Amino acid sequence: MSYAVTLIPGDGIGEEITQAMQQVVEASGVKINWDVQSAGLKAVQTLGSALPEATLSSIRKNQVALKGPTTTPVGTGHKSANVLLRQSLDLYAAVRPVKSVPGIQTRFDHVDLILVRENTEGLYTGLEVQVTPDTVVSLKVVTEKASTRIARFALELCEKQKRKKITIGHKANIIKLGDGLFLRMAYEQAQKYAQVQTEDCIVDALCMKLVMNPERFDVLLLENLYGDILSDLCAGLVGGLGLVPGANFGDKEAVFEAVHGSAPDIAGQNKANPTALIKSAAMMLEYLGEKSAAENIENAVNKALSHVASRTADLGGAATTEIFTHAVIKALA
């Protein structure tokens, strides 16, 4: 059996790590028909849009996509391709598993949590008003519908993955209406999942607890901005963004992606770490029903990372992208 998947290499190191990922997926034995499309800075420069209609059409047709990192200018320029994707396809749930990798030394050895982030609302709607020349108002949008469905998604994920506890991060002590609504809807849904222990934590206190004792957490449920910030914090607990996969789910489409940046400073130098995109591909294969291949890839990546000679510079080694990729493929064999 073969699968049709939209592939977005992205910007910077995107093409290099995408090629590495494709080699690993091919070595796993799963047949993928890649429909290569464009998004991000390169798409703006060549096609005039950060998210061309052809790319959206491809994802809607295939219903599954794998995406490399894209470049977004800071404070100016085009809108984020990631945000456009989520809004255009209503990819309301971002899922980022964060798990300790054997052999990668950090302060913690047994981190195993999943961060679930509401992906369509909050401050990321981009609704801003220049009230006066020196004052800007940014609007944070929270609805009952979006809060309910992300809470339900997170609780169903707990059931599927046999997770026992969910922690809702919020700032309802200060943002009483917006975060209060998010928190209330989460607890309403939690009443239907009695087997899952539900708790909540003010988001700044949650940050402190995560860096002190992350092993006590299982599933985190967060609104958009908090989820974006904490996903990077959690990645730091296990060795950095280069090790963490990600996925965005809607009711029809799913887009899997590496959550790190496009690293243009090392693009084309055979230095990039493709681990996050390879692990994202493993998540995609599991989603497609190829659980055995997904597990094999995950184990092969961990085996390759257990040897210093196979690690790229960001993980304390000196291996090239090519050397690491070959190590993963060898471990698969």
The mean pLDDT value for 115-144 works out to 94
Residue 209: both structure tokens together = 């607890």
CATH number of the CATH domain containing 146: 3.40.718.10
Domain boundary, last residue among 203, 238, 273: 238
Judgement on whether residues 119 and 195 belong to the same structural domain of the protein = yes
Same domain, 41 and 76: yes
Q: Do 223 and 244 lie in a common domain? A: no
Question: 100 in a domain, yes or no?
Answer: no
- The pLDDT value given to residue 95: 98
pTM flag (> 0.85) = yes
Assign 176 to helix, strand or coil.
coil
Q: Which residues lie closer than 8 Å to 172 by C-beta, 6 or more apart?
A: 179, 180, 182, 183, 202
Q: Which letter, b or e, does each residue of 230-265 get, where b requires 16 or more Cβ atoms within 10 Å of its Cβ?
A: bbeebbebbbbbbbbbbbbbbeebbbbbbbbebbee
CA 122 to chain CA mean position, Å? 18
Percent of the chain exceeding pLDDT 90 equals: 88
Mean pLDDT estimate for the chain: 94
Last residue of some domain: 206, 238, 270? 238
Residues 225 and 272 in one domain: no
Structural domains in the chain (count) = 2
**Residue 250 is encoded by which pair of tokens?**
């809607």
Whether residue 157 sits in one domain with residue 68: no
Pairwise CA distance, residues 321 & 326, whole Å = 9
Domain stops at, among 185, 210, 238: 238
Residue 101 included in any domain = no
Cα 333 vs. chain centroid, distance in angstroms? 28
Distance CA 319, CA 248 (A): 30
Q: Tokens 């917006």 label which residue?
A: 178
Q: Is the Cβ–Cβ distance between 98 and 113 less than 8 Å?
A: yes
Closest listed residue to residue 203, CA positions, set 218, 217, 222, 188? 222
Q: What would the mean pLDDT of 31-36 be, rounded to a whole number?
A: 98
Asked if residue 189 is part of any domain, the answer here is yes
Residue 99 in any domain: the answer is no
Phi, then psi, of 320 in degrees rounded to 5: -85, 170
Q: Which has the higher per-residue pLDDT, 72 or 332?
A: 332
Q: What are phi and psi of 73, to 5 degrees?
A: -60, 150
* Res 42: pLDDT: 87
Range of the domain at 200: 107-238
Q: What is the DSSP letter of 139?
A: P
pLDDT at residue 82, as a whole number: 86
Q: What pLDDT sits at residue 124?
A: 86
Reply yes or no on whether the pLDDT at 77 is more than 60.
Answer: no
The pLDDT of residue 295 is above 90: yes
Residue 327 and residue 269 share a domain: yes
- Judge if 173 and 254 occupy the same domain: no
- At what angle are helices 291-305 and 321-332 packed, to 10 degrees? 130
C-beta of residue 129 within 8 angstroms of C-beta of residue 137 = yes
Condensed to tens digits (0 to 9), the pLDDT of residues 39-60 reads: 988 888 898 899 999 999 999 9
222-237 pLDDT, tens digit each? 999 999 999 999 999 9
205 and 144 fall within a common domain: yes
What are 206's two structure tokens? Answer: 């949650």
pLDDT tens-digit map of 180-195: 999 999 999 999 999 9
pLDDT reading at 78 higher than 70: no
Least confident window among 3-17, 76-90, 241-255, 312-326: 76-90
Whether the predicted pLDDT of 117 surpasses 80: yes
pLDDT of residue 73: 62
Whether residue 329 is found in the same domain as residue 265? yes
Same domain, 207 and 268: no
Structure tokens belonging to residue 157: 């994920």
**Mean pLDDT, residues 266-280 taken together:** 96
Poorest-confidence range of 20-29, 30-39, 101-110, 191-200? 101-110
Same domain for 12 and 90?
yes
Sign of CA dihedral 29, 30, 32, 38: negative
245 plus 234 within the same structural domain = no
